[in-house]
Each structure stands twice: as C-alpha cells, then as structure tokens.
Amino acid sequence: MSPRYPKPPEGSWTEHFGLDTGPVSYADSISPSFYERERQAIFRRAWLNVGRVEQLPKAGSYFTKELAVLNTSIVVVRGMDDEIRAFHNVCRHRGNKLVWNESPDEETQGFCRQFTCKYHAWRYGLDGSLTFIQQEDEFFDVDKSQLGLVSMHCEVWEGFVFVCAAREPEWSLREFLGPMITALEGYPFDRLTSRFGYRTEVRANWKLFMDAFAEFYHAPVLHSKQSPDKYAVAAREAGYEAPYYAVEGPHRLVSTSGVRFWEMDPGSLKPMEVMTRGGLFGPWDKADLGELPAGVNPGRCKPWGLDSFQLFPNFVILIWGQGWYLTYHYWPTSYNTHVFEGNVYFLPATNVRERIAQEMSAVTFKEFALQDANTLEATQLMLESGYVEKFPLNDQEVLLRHLHKVVGDWVEQHAGVPA
C-alpha cells in the first residue's frame, strides 16, 4: 500500500535524518549503571523545565520540586524584585530541609515573605540570602554573607521555568532550545491558564514512556477500545502515518493531520463526545487564539491536528489544532521507574458548556495515558528478562530512534569529562 503522505527524497524520514535503519537495543533502558551515566551526562547538564510562571503569580510565590534524578529538592521562588530564582532546599546551618509543609518528602507551594527553617529558625530572604541567625553571638566567626542558599541556574522562556544543575551551563536556555523550539515564541501560552494536572508513578524507564508518545503507530491498536468499533476497525485497517517529522539538535517533532470528529457520522463517535462536544482532540469548538507563530505546524499540514515537540531530555509540548496545548514530563526516579506528569491547558472557560468540553478532553486524555502506562510496565519487565535484545523500528517510529541516539551520544561524549 503506498503511503498517504509523501516521504522525503531519501525514501524515508529515518534516512532523511541520517539515522541508522537497523534494529535497536534497549540496553539503555534496563541498566542501573547506564542510568547513573545519564544522570551525570544529561540531567546535570541540560536545561530542565520545572514549571510555569503562572505557578508564581506574585512576589513571594514559591513551589518546591523533588528532583530525584538530580538527587536534590529545589525551591523556585519569585523574589520581591520579580526575579525568579531556584535554590537547593537545604538550610546552611545543619542541612535540614528548609521548605516543606505537611511532610518533608512532599512537594508544596505557597506564598511567603521569607523562608524560615523549622529546626533553629534561621531565616533567608526570597533572594536566598541568610538574613537571621537565632542567637548569633553563640557562633564562632560566622559570616552570614557566606551562608546563603545554594542556587541553581534558572531561566524563563515563554513562561516556562527551566533550571540547570551545571556549575556553569554550557548553553544559555535559548541556545539550548534552538530554532525549532524558539520559533514557537508568540504562541499564547500565557493565555491558556486553565490547567488540569495529572501525576503518576510508572514502573518503567523514563525513555520507554517518552517513546510511547513519540509515535502514533500504536494508536489504532492500543487505543482501539476507546472508540466505537466502526471507527476503530477503520483506523486499524488504515494504520497510522504522520505527514511530517522534524529533528533539530537534540529535540524532535511530529505533526499529525487531525481527525475532524465533528464531521463524522455519530456511529463512529462515543455518545459522550457528541453530548459534550469534546474528546481526545479537544473541544470541537475551536478556540480562537489569533494568528499562530510560524513555528507551529511547520510542515504546513492540511488539515492539521497537532504538533508534538519533544524537548530533550524529558519534556514534551504538544500543541493541538483545536486551540489548546498539553505538556508531559518524565522524571526518572530509578533506572526502571519514573514520575509522569501530564498538564492540559485551555483558555479559561467562559461558560459551563465550554468547561464541560474541556473536562471531557482532559478526562479522555487520562484514559489514553493510562493505557499507555499500563502496557509500558509490562514492556519494562520483558525487556529486563534479556531474552530478546534487538528490536526493529519502522519509519513512523523515527523519533524513538532519534531519542535513544541522542541519549547514547550525550552519555558517550561525556564519559571521562570531569564534573
């Protein structure tokens, strides 16, 4: 059967990006020692997205983030000067965890004028400086200016807050993001502030879950039961092809053509989708976001469904044609577990009907994600058995090949480089 969409001149996207076409190994996803190398070579060097500026609405707003992959906990805070800073969540007196609320191992957020350590009441300003030591004259030669909170590089791009654990980042944030991503500047992220957040622990390596979202080859099969049979059978027979892929530095993109659910006959739709006028691809009534930047739908797909931008290492921004977007984060917690965060963003609803359409989309998203997570845990177990070691990838799975190659390259190049 000939492809629906034209392939690049080399005959395949895989060859177009200069990638090898042979079977791949997943040794990088089942190895504790490889995970340790990833932590040093990738997570300690790259810019990592930890949140958005809307989580820090005013001076004194803060949130904490547990970053097991960096073996640290950080507090991100908007200072009185409106600057956003990130610090390691450790008091300089005796190393106590500084910012926590109900329980020290849980993330927290809020608003405060200063940080006070619960242990001995040392105080820090929002800029990390040590401002108060209880019974200071009991100390010996203590210099408060040397005992501020240990900071982490922190930069903001289009409202996304990034941190970098390197002593000196090798790239500025914009350099790291590169032209394919910075071409999204002007997309109204700051207006889509109605957020639905999901978080779960997945018993699979972080890259395997990223892989699941980097191809839609699986969609007609894994998610077939999410659609009425009439639709599912047709989709499965047709298979899946993406009209456009792109690769830029360590980042990658896939665009899809989109399904015009509202034009399909009702037999192909779930009754709830018809009632709520929402579903997997979002609310049927497209939100008007104005003119979108050139970086959106760079392949000029018509019709256009979505763009899934995979930002190295562990961050996905998925922009939907219907006028909303979502993000995925995959936070490794061990060589075969990670915390998955999904956030779905809409324009604030102006009425109940809109709110319901959004709810339907958010709920549907979660249903699909659960199927992905479930199958992943089984995949991890089987990979770890070691009985099969080589796996063929097709052209629609080109982005998986790219992710694993970039990971391998970073780890390889970093070997022997001093911290």
Partner 1 sequence: MPRWPKPAEGSWTEHYPELGTGTVSFHDSVSAEFYELEREAIFKRAWLNVGRIEDLPRKGSYFTKEIHIANASVVVVRGMDDEVRAFHNICRHRGNKLVWNEFPREESQGFCRQFNCKYHGWRYDLEGNCTFVQQEDEFFDLDKADYGLAPVHCEVWNGFVFVNLDREPRQTLREFLGPMITALDEYPFDKMSERYDFEADNNSNWKVFADAFQEYYHVPALHPQQTPIAVRKPGMGVECAHFQIDGPHRMTTTGGARRWNLPPEYQYPVEIATRSGLLGPWDGPTIEPLPAGLNPGGVEPWGISNFQVFPNLEILIYGNWYLVYRYWPTSPSTHHFEAYLAFPPARNVRERVEHECAAVMFKEFALQDAGMLGGTQAALETQVVDGFPLNDQEILVRHFHKAVADWVSA
Partner 2 sequence: MSALLPAEFAEFEEYAAHWCLPTETERFERRMASDMDEMGAFYAAFSARLDEAIEFCDKYPLDELPEDVQRLLQLIHSYVMVSMAVEIFHQPKVVDSADAVLRRVKEPRP
Strands 109-111 and 61-67: antiparallel
Residue placing its CB nearer to partner 2 in the complex, 116 or 333:
116
Taking the C-alpha atoms of residue 157 and residue 310, their distance in angstroms, rounded to an integer, is: 16
Q: Which does 93 bind (CB under 5 to 8 A by kind): partner 2, partner 1, none?
A: partner 1
Taking the C-alpha atoms of residue 170 and residue 384, their distance in angstroms, rounded to an integer, is: 34
Instruction: Say how many Å lie between the first and final Cα of the chain, rounded.
Output: 52
Taking the C-alpha atoms of residue 65 and residue 60, their distance in angstroms, rounded to an integer, is: 16
Please report how close the Cβ of residue 80 comes to partner 1 at its closest, in angstroms: 22
Cα angle 166, 171, 173 (rounded to 5 degrees) comes to 95
- Taking CB under 8 A as the criterion, which residues in 148-167 touch partner 1? 150
State which amino acid sits at residue 388. Answer: V
Contact partners, residue 296, CB within 8 Å, separation at least 6: 184, 187, 307, 319
Q: Which does 192 bind (CB under 5 to 8 A by kind): partner 1, partner 2, none?
A: none
Q: How many CB atoms lie within 10 A of CB 298?
A: 17
274: which 2 tokens? Answer: 């018809």
Residue placing its CB nearer to partner 2 in the complex, 103 or 146:
103
112 binds partner 1 (CB under 8 A): no
81 binds partner 2 (CB under 8 A): no
Please report how close the Cβ of residue 194 comes to partner 1 at its closest, in angstroms: 33
**Interface map 110-129 toward partner 2 (x if CB under 8 A):** --------x-----------
Please report how close the Cβ of residue 72 comes to partner 1 at its closest, in angstroms: 4
Specify the stretch interacting with partner 1 by CB under 8 A; choose among 47-55, 136-144, 304-312, 331-339. 136-144
Please report how close the Cβ of residue 106 comes to partner 2 at its closest, in angstroms: 9
**Interface map 332-361 toward partner 2 (x if CB under 8 A):** ------------------------------
Helix (H, G, I), strand (E, B) or coil at 292: coil
What b/e readout covers 325-364, taking b as 16+ CB neighbours within 10 angstroms? bbbbbbbbbebbbbbbbbbbbbbebeeeebbbbbbbbbeb
Please report how close the Cβ of residue 312 comes to partner 1 at its closest, in angstroms: 24
Please report how close the Cβ of residue 204 comes to partner 1 at its closest, in angstroms: 25
113 binds partner 1 (CB under 8 A): no
- Taking CB under 8 A as the criterion, which residues in 304-323 touch partner 1? none
73 binds partner 1 (CB under 8 A): yes
Taking the C-alpha atoms of residue 110 and residue 56, their distance in angstroms, rounded to an integer, is: 9
Q: Within 13 Å and on the Cβ side, how many CA atoms surround 419?
A: 6
Number of residues that bind partner 1 (CB under 8 A): 33
Residue 291: exposed, middle, or buried by beta-carbon count in 10 A (0-12, 13-18, 19+)?
exposed
Of the candidate residues 6, 32, 58, 138, the single one contacting partner 1 (CB under 8 A): 138
Taking the C-alpha atoms of residue 370 and residue 198, their distance in angstroms, rounded to an integer, is: 11
Of the candidate residues 37, 97, 174, 203, the single one contacting partner 1 (CB under 8 A): 97
Please report how close the Cβ of residue 119 comes to partner 2 at its closest, in angstroms: 10
**Interface map 89-108 toward partner 2 (x if CB under 8 A):** -----------x-xxxx---
Of the candidate residues 93, 252, 277, 329, the single one contacting partner 1 (CB under 8 A): 93
Q: Where are the beta strands (DSSP E) in 6-53?
A: 48-52
121 binds partner 1 (CB under 8 A): yes
Q: Which does 296 bind (CB under 5 to 8 A by kind): partner 2, partner 1, none?
A: none
Of the candidate residues 81, 82, 141, 168, the single one contacting partner 1 (CB under 8 A): 141
DSSP string, 312-381: TTTEEEEEETTTEEEEEEEEEEETTEEEEEEEEEEPPPSSHHHHHHHHHHHHHHHHHHHHHHHHHHHHHH
Of the candidate residues 31, 55, 72, 224, the single one contacting partner 1 (CB under 8 A): 72
Please report how close the Cβ of residue 169 comes to partner 2 at its closest, in angstroms: 34
Return the DSSP state at 43.
Answer: I
Contact partners, residue 18, CB within 8 Å, separation at least 6: none
Q: Could you list the residues that contact partner 1 (CB under 8 A)?
A: 71-73, 88-98, 100, 103-105, 116-121, 134-135, 138-142, 147, 150
Tell me which residues touch partner 2 (CB under 8 A). 100, 102-105, 118
